[in-house]
Amino acid sequence: MISQTAEYALRAMVFIAMNSDSPQVTEKIACGTKVPASYLSKILQLLAKSGLVKSQRGIGGGFILAAPPSKISILEIVNAVDPIKRIDTCPLDLSSHGVALCALHKRMDEAIQLVEQAFKKTTLREILSKPTKSIPLCETKLSTHRRTNH
Amino acid sequence: MISQTAEYALRAMVFIAMNSDSPQVTEKIACGTKVPASYLSKILQLLAKSGLVKSQRGIGGGFILAAPPSKISILEIVNAVDPIKRIDTCPLDLSSHGVALCALHKRMDEAIQLVEQAFKKTTLREILSKPTKSIPLCETKLSTHRRTNH
DNA sequence: GGATAATCAGACCTAGATATCCAATTTAAT
DNA sequence: ATTAAATTGGATATCTAGGTCTGATTATCC
């Protein structure tokens, strides 16, 4: 349904948003979101390429959001790493169908559209501010001051 | 979004439903739905195991629906080959979360639920009877009488 | 301003899952 | 018996997830 990669990307973005007071380093994000660090590194690169986060190398560097949480939808995040593709043309390319989709694929596309819309209207801010019993990811909000990483 | 396998299964079921006057043979279904025959064979077995189609070996055999099209939802078809899994527990199993989902995964699950519901209330019959410009799959409804398969 | 350490970026490799192919076997009808 | 079909199992390819190592960039400290 939703790829592992997309799930990871969402977790990372939420984590970065939750700790927006300072750039977050890959290792820390990985730890806080339980995503394998080596793989996460690649996902973060995709997010940076899509302009959702900004990266900064060197000491004190890491990743920060490129826009306020209210401006980032989870659709953008998903699309950055694993684009949701609508069915706009017949998957079997039957000449007789042309542009029009048959009833089956019309239904499929409608379902995809539902998800797309739901994702589009959900922003990071909503996720952060939502009053649920569990705070998103991570046991506790990590402190800012540096500490022995071991 | 929707796996290739699920897409194939749906096509096959629609095809069988459209040609319900006689058992449909793997080769014919493959041809009519543009699904690789060898792979389709395995998918049909899954559908048979789930009780959605009945199989008959030997001459005059093939696959037929196990129930009227109005009783078969496309959710059942998808679930037979590639089950849609709701998010019912925290994907990072954080002790602090327990049963409750955080805002992020609550949203994800809601999206999945939308699809699940949409699929649940769409039956094969609806797909067959829907007035669209294109009939589902296949160029023309295949004729029943046997013919040189080549 | 140069050495050093922190950090991202990128290339390459491995394992597992998904998709596809092929041949041998079983079942049923004529 | 012969023929037409599904069933089964294995072999192969392609994709996804994840790992490893090296290089490039940047900040800090002396």
Number of domains forming the structure of chain B:
1
The percentage of chain B sitting over the pLDDT mark of 90, rounded to a whole number, equals 66
pTM here is 0.84
Q: What is the pLDDT of residue B150?
A: 29
Cα separation values, B139 from B9, B11, B134, Å: 18, 13, 9
Q: What is the pLDDT of residue B137?
A: 53
- Residue A98's closest chain B neighbor by CA? B134
Query: Is B80 part of any domain?
Result: yes
DSSP string, A7-61: HHHHHHHHHHHHTTTSPBPHHHHHHHHT--HHHHHHHHHHHHHTTSEEEE-STT-
Asked whether the beta carbons of B63 and B53 are under 8 A apart, the reply is yes
Query: Is B41 part of any domain?
Result: yes
Nucleotide nearest to B36 (CA to C1'): C20
- Could you give phi then psi for residue A56, rounded to 5 degrees? -135, 125
Tokens coding B139: 């160029």
Query: Is A147 part of any domain?
Result: no
Q: Which residue has the higher pLDDT, B136 or B3?
A: B3
| CATH number for the domain that contains residue B59 | 1.10.10.10
Compute the residue count for chain B: 150
Which residues are CB-contacts of A71 (< 8 A; sequence separation ≥ 6)?
A123
Query: Is A105 part of any domain?
Result: yes
Query: Is A136 part of any domain?
Result: no
Q: Which of A113-127, B9-23, B43-57, B84-98 has the lowest mean pLDDT?
A: B84-98
Q: Which of A108-117, B39-48, B98-107 has the lowest mean pLDDT?
A: B98-107
Distance of B62 CA from D20 C1′ (whole Å): 51
Q: Which residue has the higher pLDDT, A138 or B1?
A: B1
Q: What is the pLDDT of residue A102?
A: 83
Average pLDDT over residues B22-51: 94
Q: What is the 3-state secondary structure (H, E, C) of B93-117?
A: CCCCCCCCCEHHHHHHHHHHHHHHH
Average pLDDT over residues B4-31: 94
Query: Is B149 part of any domain?
Result: no
Distance of A59 CA from C5 C1′ (whole Å): 8
Q: What is the pLDDT of residue B102?
A: 84
Q: What is the pLDDT of residue B118?
A: 94
Q: What is the pLDDT of residue B139?
A: 45
**Per-residue tens of pLDDT for chain A, all 150 residues:** 899 999 999 999 999 999 999 999 999 999 999 999 999 999 999 999 999 999 999 998 999 999 999 999 999 999 999 999 998 888 876 655 555 578 888 899 999 999 999 999 999 999 998 655 555 554 434 333 333 333
Q: What is the pLDDT of residue A145?
A: 36
Query: Is B15 part of any domain?
Result: yes
Q: What distance in Å separates the CA atoms of residue B5 and residue B2, rounded to the nearest whole number?
A: 8
Q: What is the pLDDT of residue A90?
A: 81
Q: What distance in Å separates the CA atoms of residue B40 and residue B33, rounded to the nearest whole number?
A: 10
**Domain boundaries, position A11:** 4-129
Query: Is B150 part of any domain?
Result: no
Q: How far separated are the first and last CA of chain A, in Å rounded?
A: 36
Q: What distance in Å separates the CA atoms of residue A87 and residue A137, rounded to the nearest whole number?
A: 33
A10–B104 C-beta distance less than 8 A: yes
Task: Name the 3-class secondary structure at B132.
Answer: coil
- Could you give phi then psi for residue A25, rounded to 5 degrees? -85, 145
Band the pLDDT of B36: cuts 50, 70, 90: very high
Band the pLDDT of B132: cuts 50, 70, 90: low
Residues of A in contact with B104 (CB under 8 A): 10-11, 14, 127, 136-137
Handedness of CA B121, B122, B124, B130 (dihedral sign): positive
Q: What is the pLDDT of residue A141?
A: 40
A interface test, pick of B97, B104, B106, B130 with most A CB neighbours within 10 Å: B104
Q: Which residue has the higher pLDDT, B61 or A133?
A: B61
